Amino acid sequence: MRLMISWCSCLVIFGLLRASHRASVVAYNITPSEPLFPNQTLVSSGNIFELGFFKLSGSENQYIGIRYKNLMPSKIVWVANRERPLVYKDRSAKLTIGSDGNLKLMDGQENIVWSTNVSSRSNHTSAVLLDSGNFVLQDENYAHIWESFEDPTDTLLPTMRLEVNVKTRVKKLLISWRSDSDPFPGSFSTGLTYETPPQIFTWNGSTPYRRGGQWDKSKFVGIPTMDQSYKSGYTVEQDTQQGTTYFSVKVYNIFGYLFIYSEGSVKLMYWDDRAMKWSKGWASANDTCPIYGTCGPFGVCNSLNSPICRCIYGFVPKSNEEWNSGNWTRGCVREMELNCQKNTSTLTSTNVKEDEFWQMSRMRLPDSADYVLDVEDEEGCESWCRRNCSCLAYSYVSTIGCMVWNKDLIDLREFPTAGEDLSVRVAHVKAGGSPHKAVIISLSTIAGIMFFAVFVFVLCKWKTGNLNKIRRLLDLVDTPEKSTKLTQGNAWQEQLKQDDSLELTLYSFDSILLATNKFSTTSKLGQGGFGSVYKGKLKDGKEVAVKRLSSTSAQGVEEFKNEIILISKLQHRNLVKLVGYCIEGEEKILLYEYLSNKSLDAFLFDSRKKAELDWGKRFQIIQGIARGLLYLHRDSCRRVIHRDLKVSNILLNEKMNPKISDFGLARMFEGTEVLVNTQKIVGTRGYMSPEYVMGGIFSERSDVYSFGVLLLEIVSGKKNTAMYDQGHLNLLSYAWQLWSDGKALDLTDVAMAVSSPLEVTRCIHVGLLCVQDHAPDRPNMLNVVLILSGESDLPQPRQPIFTFQAEMPNRSIPSQQESIWSVNTITNTVVEGR
Ligand SMILES: *[C@@H]1O[C@H](CO)[C@@H](O)[C@H](O)[C@H]1NC(C)=O
Ligand SMILES: *[C@@H]1O[C@H](CO)[C@@H](O)[C@H](O)[C@H]1NC(C)=O
Ligand SMILES: *[C@@H]1O[C@H](CO)[C@@H](O)[C@H](O)[C@H]1NC(C)=O
Ligand SMILES: *[C@@H]1O[C@H](CO)[C@@H](O)[C@H](O)[C@H]1NC(C)=O
Ligand SMILES: *[C@@H]1O[C@H](CO)[C@@H](O)[C@H](O)[C@H]1NC(C)=O
Ligand SMILES: *[C@@H]1O[C@H](CO)[C@@H](O)[C@H](O)[C@H]1NC(C)=O
Ligand SMILES: *[C@@H]1O[C@H](CO)[C@@H](O)[C@H](O)[C@H]1NC(C)=O
Ligand SMILES: *[C@@H]1O[C@H](CO)[C@@H](O)[C@H](O)[C@H]1NC(C)=O
């Protein structure tokens, strides 16, 4: 079946083979009697891909290849004869099916240039190009005898799988072109390793070039940005019986591919229908850290540090001179011999001190891990490693299991967030105390992480219904008799008070009256739907913000207490801390840390004070908010969605560090009249995402939207809603217009000098990504944090639609109280179970 169609003259590459306006033949299959000639192309039935002879500019060679048919610029996704090109002048070349049933590419002299070379049992084979981009040789029953997906070149299409088999030692890789104009196999290749868990690598020849780290069943630990939750996903499937592991990419539709460039970088591209061009979904980061082994054995790379390399604790540079000159490849050596390696006959029993493990967090784990099969938890992993002196480090990742290292630790990288914990064996004694002590001092977060792990455990158990058991665990035992009524004694309050871990104090109403000067108007900081906020000074001189909840909440004391515990457990340096509470009669009062610099809007929208916010401070504020939000979204087994992120809910401490306030508040009012309000669409005008305004749907990505608005406000020093008078619908439309005109920097606040245009542009870019209309297009907070710290590449944002906010009658949304402490009916925080 052959059809005549006319070639479009814009086909640059394939079109070169024909006089541009000559009619050319489209074929839908190749059979023994109907070969494919250079004046023809083989097209997939849905017109998505085409296969044909092509020539590259600057070269006189001719190849057979596959490309996207109707997308311009197209992309060659496969080349048959990359190693043996035909000469372009050879017009009598043909792709045919030989007598043995194999596809053969013949030159004008009937020499076989390329062949599928499989043994076939059929003499009725034909070849077709499928809409997946797979070129297949099939028998009369349409069974595939050979397929191009089994013989990849440099491109991985969405339904294609790169296979490695540890038993047969089959390893399929993407192999780069030698250069942009030469498909000959270049030096770079990418694919999985045989080991368990598999790692993804890019090699330069046979040398490791870049490493993505171990697969943790949802992502590679060394590429935290590339998980299934963002635009660019990929999967690894394992068939342990066959010993096969498959790697594949996930793109929204067929119009996307993963591709290794001739210079070694790897990118995931997808076709953007609106912009009518290829957009980058993900790309291997372009900084020095990802290059394999930059910091040598026992060195740690951190692209945010200067210099980027340092030695692991307890290790020193092998050659100080080289190290200091910036050549880190020889790495580090142990400063002090391990106890277990010492010649035991020279030791007396008294000076034997056990080796310790030094724990590092947020790591890309080193290369060459051994997987320990029969260990089920972290302790088991540690004791396994402790027992065997040749075990230099271990890491327990719940989704992988226990990994240990017996060789030099190479290619470690530290991330600003994400990554895994790694424990490295070090000698016990070292100046400054035991490693354990030093860990606690230098990494104060670890205690927090451990405490948090307990809390997560507790909460998760709680969720599964073991409420009473957990209360006992929390040491908040209250027998039903005690808990039913407050008047029956405040035993639980006593216990709550005694629980040090909560750091939460119960205050008497009298002491609060004293602290706030009887809630005097002079001490009032703000007013809102949940009640009023006062500044208070406790007996010990400590300043607090006192939130007096006005609701005569129907919520029981018991539930209220649980809420307080929940909120007090949400601790992060970028969240406002709850320090105490008071319940007496109808009074329900929460005490928060007092932040001397009040809220961000007092600076940002104040013509005089805004100059105090230089770019450094603003960037610090943006990053802090992002981290706080990431914590709410990701770091607990209960996902907390803030729902009312806005400038007035960002408070600043004396060092201008931002803290998110009002998270968790509405949760306490669940089931009360305040929640009735939330059945209407409430929120703060200008910060609500389209899906919420239109459909009432709320998710983490709606918080991301609000964060995007907040970010653009911080950069511009303008309120989103205040742009109306200046001829723009809102700040977003203004930002988008400047962005698409290539004048993004014009958005920046005139009160601020732009000290780092790249950072500013990156922030605006992130802001625009966050406010995209389609929620799945928005990055998640992990991606945002990584992007802000320069760890991740950015896709192009899509233009947001702005009309929805103009269409909203202003009055239907409760107007925002411009208070310093924003406490208003429109604050809604939802805690959802995971
Ligand atoms: C294409 O080329 C083949 C071989 O050179 C020739 O037989 C055939 O007539 C050509 N077809 C057209 C449409 O030019
Ligand atoms: C086909 O495969 C055989 C063995 O697998 C090999 O000896 C032969 O050279 C191959 N022929 C071509 C044309 O690649
Ligand atoms: C294939 O061809 C051979 C001879 O050319 C014939 O003997 C055989 O029966 C054919 N097989 C099939 C499956 O048609
Ligand atoms: C890749 O390896 C080759 C040969 O070993 C070397 O010349 C080249 O510089 C390497 N390329 C990169 C980017 O490291
Ligand atoms: C990587 O960065 C360097 C310098 O910043 C630049 O020259 C190079 O083109 C970049 N490579 C890629 C693949 O983006
Ligand atoms: C770095 O040091 C290694 C080992 O001493 C040496 O082989 C290499 O040439 C050095 N590289 C540079 C760039 O100086
Ligand atoms: C251990 O020490 C003893 C005595 O000092 C010595 O004879 C022996 O060779 C040493 N062994 C090793 C492995 O160093
Ligand atoms: C320690 O581990 C190494 C490497 O896994 C292994 O070869 C050795 O047999 C182990 N030694 C003991 C005592 O288990």
User: Is residue 430 part of an annotated ligand binding site?
Assistant: no
Residue 68's nearest CA partner among 345, 356, 352, 270 is 270
Rg (alpha carbons) of the chain, rounded to whole number: 32
C-alpha to C-alpha distance for 591 and 545, rounded to whole angstroms = 6
Quick one: which atom of ligand 5 is closest to the CA of 261? 13
- Minimal-distance CA residue to ligand 6 atom 12: 327
Query: What pLDDT is stored for residue 439 in this prediction?
Result: 39
- Which of 227, 411, 601, 644 is flagged as catalytic? 644
Query: What pLDDT is stored for residue 638 in this prediction?
Result: 62
Contacts of 246 (CB under 8 A, 6+ apart): 161, 162, 163, 236, 237, 238, 239
Residue 143 CA to ligand 3 center (angstroms) comes to 17
Architecture of domain 299-433: 3-Layer(bba) Sandwich (3.50)
Query: Do 547 and 553 form a contact (C-beta atoms < 8 A)?
Result: no
- Minimal-distance CA residue to ligand 8 atom 10: 388
The dihedrals phi and psi of 182, each to the nearest 5 degrees, come to: -140, 105
Query: What pLDDT is stored for residue 201 in this prediction?
Result: 92
Pocket test for ligand 7, best of 341, 343, 344 (most atoms within 8 A of CB): 343
Domain spanning 601-833, CATH class: mainly alpha
345 lines ligand 7 (CB under 6 A): yes
What is the four-CA torsion angle of 819, 822, 823, 829, rounded to 10 degrees?
A: 160
Cis peptide bond prior to 416, omega within 30° of 0: no
Quick one: which atom of ligand 6 is closest to the CA of 319? 5
390 lines ligand 8 (CB under 6 A): yes
Query: What pLDDT is stored for residue 207 in this prediction?
Result: 94
Catalytic annotation present for 180: no
Query: What pLDDT is stored for residue 563 in this prediction?
Result: 72
Quick one: which atom of ligand 2 is closest to the CA of 117? 1
CA distances from 530 to 662, 673, 682, 811 (A): 10, 11, 14, 20
- Minimal-distance CA residue to ligand 8 atom 9: 388
C-alpha to C-alpha distance for 665 and 649, rounded to whole angstroms = 12
The segments of the chain whose pLDDT lies below 50 read: 1-23, 228-231, 430-500, 670-681, 803-834
Query: What pLDDT is stored for residue 796 in this prediction?
Result: 81
- How much is the pTM? 0.60
Same fold? 25-150, 601-833: no
Residue 64 CA to ligand 3 center (angstroms) comes to 30
Query: What pLDDT is stored for residue 488 in this prediction?
Result: 29
Query: What pLDDT is stored for residue 351 in this prediction?
Result: 57
Q: Is 511 helix (H, G, I), strand (E, B) or coil?
A: helix
What is the end-to-end Cα distance of the chain in Å, rounded? Answer: 55
Query: What pLDDT is stored for residue 528 in this prediction?
Result: 57
Ligand nearest to the CA of 151: 2
Query: What pLDDT is stored for residue 17 in this prediction?
Result: 39
Segment 215-232, tens digit of pLDDT = 888 788 888 766 544 445
Q: Is the dihedral of CA 160, 164, 167, 168 positive or negative?
A: positive
Domain range list for the chain: 25-150, 158-283, 299-433, 460-593, 601-833
CATH number of 25-150: 2.90.10.10
Segment 502-561, tens digit of pLDDT = 567 888 888 998 898 888 878 888 765 566 788 999 888 889 999 887 655 555 677 677
Domain spanning 460-593, CATH class: alpha beta
